[in-house]
Amino acid sequence: MAWTVRTWLQLFAWGLGGLVVLVALAYGGLVLVSNRMLAATVTLPAAVQDIQIPDGNPEAIARGRYLVEHLAGCTDCHGPDFGGRVIVNDFLSGEWWAPNLTAGNGSVTRGFRSADWVRAIRHGVAPDGHRLFLMPSNEFVNFSDGDVGSIIAYVRSLPPVDRPSRGIRLGPVDRLMVATGRITFAFDRIDHTRDRTAATPGPTAAWGKVLATTCSGCHGEGFSGGTIVNGNPVWPPARNLTPDATGTKGWTFDQFSDAFRHGKLPNGTMLSTVMPWQAFSAISDTDAQALYAFFQSLPPRPAGNH
Ligand code: HEC
Ligand code: HEC
């Protein structure tokens, strides 16, 4: 048989067809694996410690509002009205919605008992047992029972919003990131049986340590900064908060406060708004002093290894 142009074209077409089938099979596998990881259910190593929710207590609600708006970042994802909103929407990453947490139609927290709130906020698990995706529960583990109760009371005091919770739909790149463990679940990073870091509010390093858990999601558990885990790839790396020459060595409280609450570095340049300094601008002086004392008390570490 002579190798005519036609034969070559036929071979090429078969090859191309084969490749398309292979890619489709591989993608199908990826969809399967990533869907299974999102839907997998887990059991907590210990019973959820239920707490008293101070519903209707104006002081507790004000406290909850302060924590939510200026430290915990809940509204960045769940929306200023807590009615839920889209966090990410592009072809490669997919469409990610943080759910509606109000009492309105479309909310996922209607019918939540107090333990369901605690399980979500402290352990990163939904009532049906799936690990919450993207919800940074690892940053809330050191909040006291009183503070977690205040946060819940505040959210429950908000007007109902009718908005559907549209869930998480992953795009191809993020399916790969989930399937290969490059995007992790807070549940898997939390030590669920560890004792909570306890301290009473005041301008002390001990209280700063409690508050600083909310900084660790970006600045790392060791606070030396680097690429932000589960962060958007276009974000700048978080910086070193330890008193190393590459970080905050020799900073005065005012210099720390200017950077942390106003985005202004000692050399006059401004920090990116990925660093939530606008939300932090209303942090109280006591809490800012506590954070300053805590970071200055840390052993200096070189920048960038978390
Ligand atoms: C980085 C974004 C982000 C931040 C910040 C965040 N959440 Fe979430 N949260 C989510 C997403 C996304 C889900 C849904 C995850 C899922 O269904 O897998 C969620 C789920 C929840 C749920 C559980 C709903 C359910 O389906 O069981 C509660 C309760 C909740 N968040 C409360 C809070 C509170 C309170 C704060 C602040 C203290 C907060 N979240 C901060 C993104 C966030
Ligand atoms: C959402 C991620 C995120 C969170 C949460 C966050 N930071 Fe940052 N922070 C950053 C990024 C990113 C930078 C660097 C920004 C830049 O390079 O412009 C930064 C920079 C800083 C700097 C400047 C440090 C230096 O060496 O120049 C300080 C101070 C700081 N953050 C303090 C805090 C404190 C305190 C908290 C917690 C209360 C916190 N940050 C929480 C992302 C974050």
pLDDT tens for each residue of the chain, 306 residues long: 567 888 889 999 999 999 999 999 999 999 999 999 999 999 998 889 999 999 999 999 999 999 999 999 999 999 999 999 999 899 999 999 999 999 999 999 999 999 999 999 999 999 999 999 999 999 999 999 999 999 999 999 999 999 999 999 999 999 999 999 888 999 999 999 988 888 999 999 999 999 999 999 999 999 999 999 888 888 999 999 999 999 999 999 999 999 999 999 999 999 999 999 999 999 999 999 999 999 999 999 999 877
Ligand 2 centre to CA of 166 (Å) is 30
Q: Give the nearest ligand 2 atom to 270 CA.
A: 18
Quick one: which of 134, 130, 306 has its CA closest to 231?
A: 134
Q: Yes or no: say if 205 and 147 are a contact pair by the CB < 8 Å rule.
A: no
For residue 66, the ligand closest to its alpha carbon is 1
d(CA 257, CA 89): 34
Residues having CB closer than 6 A to ligand 2 are: 214-215, 217-219, 228, 235-236, 238-241, 247-248, 256, 259-260, 265, 271-272, 274-276, 291
Residue 71's nearest CA partner among 295, 294, 287 is 287
Radius of gyration of the chain (CA): 23
Q: Are 138 and 216 in contact (CB under 8 A)?
A: yes
Ligand showing the shortest atom-to-Cα distance for residue 228: 2
Minimum-distance ligand 2 atom for the alpha carbon of 295:
35
> What residue owns the CA closest to ligand 1's atom 42?
135
- Residue 54 sits at the vertex; the CA angle it makes with 51 and 57, to the nearest 5 degrees, is 170
Amino acid identity, position 1? M
User: Exposure string (b/e) for 118-157, b if CB count within 10 Å is 16 or more?
Assistant: bbbbbbbbbeeebbbbebbbbbbbbbbeebbbbbbbbbbb
Ligand nearest to the CA of 242: 2
Using CB atoms within 10 Å of the CB of residue 287, give its burial: 0 to 12 exposed, 13 to 18 middle, 19+ buried. buried
Residue 153 CA to ligand 1 center (angstroms) comes to 16
∠ CA 285-289-293, nearest 5°, is 175
CA of 241 relative to ligand 2 center, distance in Å? 8
Smallest CA-to-CA distance from 89 within 170, 19, 146 is with 170
Asked whether the beta carbons of 286 and 203 are under 8 A apart, the reply is yes
CA dist 247 and 135 (Å) reads: 28
